[in-house]
Amino acid sequence: MARQTFFSFRYRKDNWRAGIVRNSWVTQERKAAGFFDSAEWEEVKKKSDSAIGEWIDNQLTGTSVTVVLIGADTAGKKWIKYEIEKSHKRGNGMLGILVHNLKDSQGNTTSKGANPFDAYTFKRNDQIVTYPVYDWVADDGYANMGNWIEKAAKAVGK
């Protein structure tokens, strides 16, 4: 089943790595939200917090799963937290993917970042919910991301 998926990531630090993940997703004829070019991001970040929040909310519209791409310093960032909280509230399935072992445009990897989900105790129907985290390189994200996303969607009944 085709899933429209929102990708949450640290633009400045992980845009190149996020592009690798996104390209693997869309080349399999799937829809991705939350991606934008640098000119669009430069314009969005000049706006007020409420305008940025509204832009993110619009990007989340129609999605059933949110994938948080976890880089070296993703956890705790204001807009990542906002995207996680909004995604959970709207009932999206969620998962994290560690991207630190993906090489950037200069061929460098980075250190493993903290799991941003660890800052929360998520509940759905009075039950504690945990969201899985995979490693793009070690868990062969290119071959397995579709299954991870499908599993996340089914976990929330979508």
The 10s digit of each residue's pLDDT in 13-48 is 888 898 888 877 665 555 554 444 545 656 777 788
**Residue 108: per-residue pLDDT:** 92
CA distance 35 to 18: 9
pLDDT mean over 109-135: 95
The domains of the chain, with CATH numbers, are: 4-155 (3.40.50.450)
Taking alpha carbons only, the member of 115, 149, 122 closest to residue 25 is 149
Q: State yes or no: pLDDT of 8 exceeds 50.
A: yes
pLDDT mean over 56-73: 93
Tokens at 146, concatenated: 């579709």
**Residue 61: per-residue pLDDT:** 92
pLDDT mean over 3-15: 84
Per-residue pLDDT band for 11 (boundaries 50, 70, 90) equals: confident
Per-residue pLDDT band for 5 (boundaries 50, 70, 90) equals: confident
CA distance 105 to 127: 42
What is the spatial order of strands in the sheet that 133-135 belongs to?
31-33, 4-8, 65-70, 93-98, 133-135
Average pLDDT, the chain: 87
pLDDT mean over 55-83: 93
Tokens at 17, concatenated: 């790595």
Tokens at 54, concatenated: 């509204």
Tokens at 126, concatenated: 């009075």
Taking alpha carbons only, the member of 89, 116, 101 closest to residue 9 is 116
Sign of CA dihedral 114, 116, 122, 128: negative
Structure-model confidence comparison of residues 32 and 154, the more confident one: 154
**Residue 35: per-residue pLDDT:** 47
What type of residue is 43? E
